[in-house]
Amino acid sequence: MINDITHHGYLRGVMLISTLGGLLFGYDTGVINGALAFMSMPDQLNLSPSMAGLITSSLLAGAAIGAFLGGRIADIIGRRKMILYLAVIFFFAANGCALSPNSNTLIFFRFLLGLAVGGASVTIPTLLAEMSPLEHRGRMVTQNHLMIVTGQLLAFAINAALGIAYSSTSSTWRYMLAIPSLPAVILWLGMFGVPESPRWLILKGRISEALDVLKKIREEKRAQKELEEIKETIALEKTIKHATYSDLAIPWVRRIVFIAMGVAICQQISGVNSIMYYGTQILTEAGFSTQAALVGNIANGIISVGATFFGIWMIDRHGRRPLVMLGQVGTILCLCFIGIASNIFDGSTFLPYIVLFLTVMFLFFQQGFLSPVTWLLLSELFPVRLRGMGMGFAVLCLWVANFFVGFFFPQLLFSFGLSATFFIFAGIGFLGLLFVIKFVPETRGRSLEQIERDFRNYDKN
């Protein structure tokens, strides 16, 4: 019993330290929400709508590249060393953003920060999955997503605190952007106490080191048994012919990749990150003062964290398709209601509160249904030999779609106003719903082999 407590305590420490990367991911994507209002002032960077979109989306462009390359680099140098390097990038890029003398420099450092965000989005879940025992794997891996939304909530809360305390200081945005350098240092120092993934060590032939790690996180007999299981799995994987880009010529392979790319894009075209990145701008457009909008954004962060807990609870109890479609219908209705309310209550003192309530409801459907199920679907759609290529395409599409939402939203808001912008996103979201209804299969309760067999048989029918 004492040994079990020791092993579990050590694993909790590994999880806490490594998911600081997820916290940084969340903070760095959410902090722009409040910082943009201050950096746009004439005595600061004096941003146009297109430049505001470029500064926001430059991180997302870096994240797309970081996610696409991060897994491959981690396979070469190891998960632990990769996270150490990411912590260094997080630190220097955050300070570079805070000290940027002009918008071009800020765009450069935001892009570097995006490389770290994208790398963390694939490396940290991999490390957690390979360190956790089978019976706790789902809970441990989803802790990273929880830390991401917690990081966004933290960003919203700090933005509000600084925005109110230093409302007369337009350079407040620099402090907002510099704050994540502290957890980056803690992540870097903490990772020296985190061991390398035992699976990666075995893959590199470092068997004795892998056994030492397993003995720290498992009871001794189980550690030896798991060592043999990992060795057998790796030996089996070496016999599997993994997919290459030429396999896209095969109809059933192309169909799986097409559906996965569509699922990833559907998660983004709901417009969720228009709220996560531009929530302050949306609420000020509705009628709140900047300080009130910063405080209102905290509600968006709180519901994101609470809805994530709810989504984790719902996932194993219901089918994937119903949950995704419920999330899409809910977000589409919220977007339509924002558009309608902006017309009916234009100029009313009630409008900002109505918009805040509807953005909170939007995030409940997004974070409680659509977002968590999207990542689960992506992990279930691909057979083993397609996973590397397919996930690479899907995650790249997700970040690219995220980039376009981040880049074009402020320009749409400037050109068409609050109401029309949300009607546009509702229309795009409806197209996403039609895609899921027509193409996305149900994967709950079916093995990867069954899913692959169904796709193969679809071509024959």
In a domain, 382, yes or no: yes
Task: Answer yes or no: do 177 and 252 share one domain.
Answer: no
In a domain, 229, yes or no: no
Return the percentage of the chain with pLDDT > 70, whole number.
92
> DSSP states of 248-294 as a string?
GGSHHHHHHHHHHHHHHHHHHHT-HHHHHHHHHHHHHHHT--HHHHH
Q: Which of 156, 174, 194 is the last residue of a domain?
A: 194
The pTM assigned to this predicted structure is: 0.83
Q: How many domains does the chain have?
A: 2
Task: Answer yes or no: do 181 and 265 share one domain.
Answer: no
Alpha-carbon dihedral sign for residues 134, 138, 139, 143: positive
Q: Inform me whether the pLDDT recorded for 53 exceeds 50.
A: yes
The whole-number pLDDT of residue 357 equals 95
In a domain, 223, yes or no: no
Q: Inform me whether the pLDDT recorded for 49 exceeds 60.
A: yes
Task: Answer yes or no: do 293 and 381 share one domain.
Answer: yes
Phi, psi of 202 (to 5 degrees): -65, -40
Task: Answer yes or no: do 306 and 169 share one domain.
Answer: no
> Per-residue pLDDT tens for 414-447?
899 989 999 999 999 999 999 999 999 888 777 6
Q: Inform me whether the pLDDT recorded for 325 exceeds 70.
A: yes
In a domain, 232, yes or no: no
Q: Inform me whether the pLDDT recorded for 1 exceeds 50.
A: no
Confidence tier at 8 by pLDDT (50, 70, 90) = low
By C-alpha distance, which of 153, 101, 127, 398 is closest to 298?
153
In a domain, 212, yes or no: no
258 or 245, greater pLDDT: 258
Task: Answer yes or no: do 335 and 443 share one domain.
Answer: yes
Confidence tier at 453 by pLDDT (50, 70, 90) = confident
Whichever domain contains 125, its CATH number is 1.20.1250.20
| Half-sphere exposure in the Cβ direction for 152 (13 Å, CA) | 28
Task: Answer yes or no: do 184 and 330 share one domain.
Answer: no
In a domain, 330, yes or no: yes
Task: Answer yes or no: do 182 and 251 share one domain.
Answer: no
* Distance set, CA 279 to CA 272, 426, 430, 452 (Å): 10, 17, 22, 41
Q: Which domain holds residue 153?
A: 1-194
Average pLDDT over residues 317-340: 92
Task: Answer yes or no: do 295 and 397 share one domain.
Answer: yes
Task: Answer yes or no: do 260 and 112 share one domain.
Answer: no
In a domain, 200, yes or no: no
Task: Answer yes or no: do 189 and 253 share one domain.
Answer: no
Task: Answer yes or no: do 160 and 291 share one domain.
Answer: no
Average pLDDT over residues 269-290: 88
> Per-residue pLDDT tens for 174-183?
999 999 999 9
Task: Answer yes or no: do 258 and 189 share one domain.
Answer: no
Query: What is the rounded distance in angstroms from the CA atom of residue 283 to the CA atom of residue 261?
Result: 32
